[in-house]
Amino acid sequence: FGKNFNFFQSSSGQYWMEIWPTEPHVVIPVPVLDPSAGGGENVPVPPGVVQSFHKTNPSYASDEHLLTGPNQHSRDRGSACCLRLEPVYYQDLLHNQTHNNNTNSNTTMLIQQQPYLLVGISHAKANQQLKVINTRTFLSRLYAFVPVKPFHVVAKSPLFCFANVDQTTPAPYYNLTHRKHLLVGGHDYKDCPTIHFVSGITENPNDPTRAVVAYGIEDCVSRMIELHKRDLALRLFTTLDTQVR
């Protein structure tokens, strides 16, 4: 038993439950019951925990990532998964990744062999002992993995935050969300809430080129934003110095 689990379907059609999103990427198979079998009691979970220790570096260094280094935040946990990202959105970016040593040639070849990648969003908690950042700060990360065993994670973004609500957004608890925001190295990121948590990611049913992300702020306000799939690919596969907004 636990939390922060995500479910997805591999390219072969089998269903899996994601236990840990990265390093290692840990998933277990999920039994799909046959309606003709006459009930689902005492159905054993198929054996075979799958772990991928494939190492992937963040595509670029955000302010949040630089100031909350690898030993200053928790291991990534699952938030939301999984969105299909087709090659048309990232194929031209793979050479750039290899050139910048973020992806080796074998990984690039593995990516090119797939009909699509699966994209999720994980979260990490900043070290509460870190003096330059507020306690209980949650940050997010995009990650992408191949839809075949052992489900190697082949790209990930640095840690970042989704934007706070602004004064033009109708929200009765607006003031509560702006009492707390990210404080790093003496710089006050007023647009970055101390706690945000992504609860869902899906393809826009009316426009398959766009993704919809739902997240909450300080357990007070909910938001939904729409991003083009190309924007996700850019943050996964290119070197940028901007944050996701």
**pLDDT tens-digit series, residues 210-224:** 999 999 888 778 889
Using one digit for the tens of pLDDT, what is the confidence trace for 4-26?
899 999 999 999 999 999 888 99
CB 113 within 8 A of CB 106: no
Using DSSP, state whether 94 is helix, strand or coil: helix
- Structural domain includes residue 72: yes
In a domain, 16, yes or no: no
95-131 pLDDT, tens digit each: 765 444 555 788 899 999 999 999 999 998 876 544 4
- 123 lies in a domain? yes
Of 244, 226, 243, nearest to 83 by C-alpha is 226
Q: Is residue 4 part of a domain?
A: no
Tokens representing 31 are: 């039994």
Domain of 73 in residue numbering reads as: 56-237
Where in 25-157 does DSSP place strands (E)?
25-29, 50-52, 77-85, 117-125, 138-145, 153-156
Number of structural domains, the chain? 1
- Of the listed ranges 33-37, 125-129, 134-138, the least confidently predicted one is 33-37
| Cis amide linkage into residue 147, ω under 30° from 0 | no
Average pLDDT over the chain reads: 78
Check residues 52 and 121 and name the one with the higher pLDDT. 121
pLDDT of residue 228: 97
- Position 66 in a domain: yes
40, pLDDT greater than 50: no
Specify if 149 maps to a domain. Answer: yes
**Structure pTM?**
0.80
